[in-house]
């Protein structure tokens, strides 16, 4: 009887230990922002496939792995930098660092190791240009965009540059260098991010105020300036998507889809301009997260199988 009780207690302890281990592992994974990292990797892949005469080889897997390490490291360091500000915001206070589930020192070491491994791996296995772009992406995210969020609302425009660099890493991995024909994919990612993040800034403007972040929506209670910026950058996004045709990276099928997709993206933006509400902003956000993977998928199919 005593042996059975001890055995059951041991089994419960083992299950508890496994549960705690998986919980800690989940927290470390959460620090890397997996959903955002997926977008980074997707845009990197697009940049790799776009150049004329591009081929798929083992370099692609090295690129994705190195970029994943670098991007994950940047996201971890970003959460380490913003842990005190995240603690004040409803939507971020339950993250691993502000909630106290992980120590700040653990996150710092984890982020530095991932970043160094990622950049080193890209340099050794891909090429110097790709690694340099990785350093620029990491550095602008950690040392420019993140501090600027607490200083000025222009941080969104600066951060969009950082977010548009990964496809250039893919391009450099394929070509070994950059040229002007990589500009369309850079612009597409740049102008996509702006209405996407403006929508988030409007939805969580009170939260951002609590966190001490300077967003365009904070001094725009009526939403007119936010709506105008959404519209302007949505139009630039449409123009950017059409530019692929002129550098022979997209055919007529992609161009037709780009027009339809661009109008589809502009529609909720125009609705937000007419009625500036959280629900309308959320619709812009939802359309944005559908638009990017869909248009990139069509781009790849058109580029590889139709042109």
Q: pLDDT below 50 — which residues of the chain?
A: 1-20
Quick: pLDDT tens for 83-103.
999 999 988 899 999 999 999
What does the alpha-carbon distance between residue 108 and residue 113 come to, in Å, rounded to a whole number?
9
pTM, entire model:
0.89
**pLDDT at residue 307, rounded to an integer:** 52
**pLDDT at residue 51, rounded to an integer:** 86
**pLDDT at residue 290, rounded to an integer:** 94
Q: Which two tokens stand for residue 224?
A: 């007119």
Q: Which two tokens stand for residue 76?
A: 């971890």
Quick: pLDDT tens for 54-71.
788 999 999 999 999 999
- Are 115 and 138 contacting, i.e. CB atoms less than 8 angstroms apart? yes
First to last CA, the chain: 75
Give me the domains of the chain, ranges plus CATH numbers: 28-176 (1.10.357.140), 179-307 (1.20.120)
- Are 254 and 298 contacting, i.e. CB atoms less than 8 angstroms apart? yes
- What lies within 8 Å, CB to CB, of 202 at 6+ separation is 217, 223, 226, 276, 278, 281
Alpha helices in 145-277 (DSSP H): 146-148, 155-163, 166-175, 183-203, 205-211, 224-246, 252-274
φ/ψ bin of 226: left (φ > 0), alpha (ψ from -120 to 50), beta (otherwise)? alpha
**pLDDT at residue 13, rounded to an integer:** 38
What does the alpha-carbon distance between residue 232 and residue 291 come to, in Å, rounded to a whole number?
17
């Amino acid at each position: 009887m005593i042996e059975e009780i001890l055995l059951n207690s041991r089994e419960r302890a083992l299950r508890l230990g496994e549960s705690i281990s998986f919980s800690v592992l989940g927290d470390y994974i959460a620090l890397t922002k997996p959903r955002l990292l997926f977008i980074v990797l997707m845009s990197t892949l697009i940049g790799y496939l776009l150049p004329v005469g591009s081929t798929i080889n083992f370099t692609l897997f090295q690129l994705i792995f190195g970029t994943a390490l670098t991007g994950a490291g940047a996201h971890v360091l970003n959460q380490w930098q913003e842990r005190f500000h995240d603690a004040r915001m409803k939507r971020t206070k339950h993250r691993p660092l502000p909630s106290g589930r992980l120590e700040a020192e653990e996150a710092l070491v984890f982020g530095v190791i991932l970043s160094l491994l990622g950049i080193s791996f890209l340099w050794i296995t891909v090429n110097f240009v790709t690694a340099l772009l990785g350093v620029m992406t990491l550095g602008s995210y950690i040392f420019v965009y993140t501090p600027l969020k607490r200083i000025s609302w222009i941080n969104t425009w600066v951060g969009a540059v950082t977010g548009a660099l990964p496809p250039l890493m893919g391009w450099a991995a394929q070509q070994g260098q950059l040229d002007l024909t990589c500009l369309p994919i850079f612009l597409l990612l740049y102008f996509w991010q702006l209405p996407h993040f403006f929508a988030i800034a409007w939805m969580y403007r009170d939260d951002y105020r609590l966190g001490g972040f300077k967003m365009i929506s904070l001094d725009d209670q009526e939403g007119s300036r936010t709506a105008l910026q959404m519209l302007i950058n949505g139009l630039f996004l449409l123009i950017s998507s059409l530019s692929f045709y002129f550098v022979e990276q997209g055919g007529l099928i992609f161009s037709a889809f780009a027009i339809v997709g661009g109008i589809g993206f502009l529609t909720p933006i125009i609705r937000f301009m007419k009625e500036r509400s959280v629900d309308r902003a959320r619709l812009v956000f939802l359309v944005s997260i559908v638009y990017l993977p869909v248009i990139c998928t069509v781009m790849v199919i058109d580029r590889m199988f139709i042109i």
